[in-house]
Amino acid sequence: MCYKKTEHWFPLWIDLNMFMPVGVDCWIDNIRLVYNKTTRQSSNSPGVQVRVPGFGQTYPIEFLDYNRLAGYFHTMVQHLVNVGYTRNETVRGAPYDWRLAPNENAEYLSKLHKLVEEMYEEYQKPVFLLAHSMGCHYVLYFLNHQPQAWKDKYIRGFISLAAPWGGAVKPLRVLSSGENDGIPMISNIKIREEQRMTTTNPWMLPTKAWPSDHVFISTPTINYTNQDYQRLFTDINYEDGWHMWEDTKNLTGDLYPPGVEVWCMYGVGLPTPVTYIYDEEFPNKDPVDFVYADGDDTVDSFSMSLCKQWAEQQEQPVHVTEYRGLPHLDIVFHEKVITQVQQIMEGQSDVPKEIDVRYGAE
């Protein structure tokens, strides 16, 4: 049975207990969004209030759970502290509700704007914005909506880690048949219920930057490209997904340059699915095979490398470093990445085009 009322706030993401079989249905009901296709707006599950604690502080991004088991930016923050930065002063966190695309998160973007100005006024220096994965799209959306004069004054640069600039193929599997990310206590089909209730998964689908004939999902009866999303959403019985994609596809899909100096860093050299092959039980069974291409095991290098095009589209420099052998999540705590981030923040703008992080590589 789920709690109908609580006296205190409790963690929703991540509370590892929620993934136990007895708790997963309650967790899904608490974390899901209700999408209204008439108003094109999302709301929390009826009777549920959700807040993101600790804006401006680092603790919400250092670990994803209160037990400090699921580490995220802790290694990077601790390294910066070790070389002279101060938590919650010269290193700040800007956690956001990852269920919502930025078109529904105006309050967050306003808080980020104020945080940047606050840090500038305190230290009389422009700030670096650093983000990982989908967070990079949030930063791009934020920068695209600021006047150039504001960016020139307040932003020193944007460090992007493993950004799926052309979208990612994985959300197609997530929305079609579910993806439990290796959590053994919960099935892919069960987690699909929650994964279909956020607007960010449709937002991250592969964009028009991909070839129009690239097959992302292959079934015995139809091959789906990025021209077939409406048909796909109908076939998997998820028509709200089509409306969510329509609402979000142009938020960052055109990849307008950010108008600040960029350091674009991502992993390469790892097999990464770019096509999911299903049998006749699609979409209610896992893929039976995959087609792989180069990437970081989660996002393909084609998508992540699209930041290179900004070099010809903006005056500010664009630096790209590819980390050979570096997985998608590991990029936030690998020592070579963290060292490069430190050097960038210390004023060493030039960076190598490739760094090999495979075992024994020099």
Question: Hey, which residues are catalytic here?
Answer: 133, 296, 328
Distances (CA, A) of 303 to 41, 142, 195, 217, 293: 28, 20, 22, 17, 11
Cα 290–chain centre separation = 23
CA 134/CA 105 separation, integer angstroms: 14
Name residue, tokens 């095009």.
309
Please give the helix or strand (H or E) that residue 239 lies within, else none. Answer: helix 239-248
Q: Copy the structure tokens of residue 152.
A: 């020139």
Phi, psi of 171 (to 5 degrees): -60, -25
Instruction: Reduce the DSSP state of residue 343 to 3 states and report it.
Output: helix
Nearest to 299 by CA among 228, 227, 226, 210: 210
CA 18/CA 50 separation, integer angstroms: 16
Rounded to 5, what percent of the chain is helix, strand, coil? 35, 15, 50
Query: How many alpha carbons fall within 13 Å on the CB side of residue 326?
Result: 25
Three-state helix/strand/coil letters over 83-133: CCCCECCCECCCCCCCCCCHHHCHHHHHHHHHHHHHHHHHHCCCEEEEEEC
CB contact set of 125 (below 8 Å; sequence gap of 6+):
156
On whether the CB atoms of residues 54 and 95 are closer than 8 A, the answer is yes
On whether the CB atoms of residues 92 and 241 are closer than 8 A, the answer is no
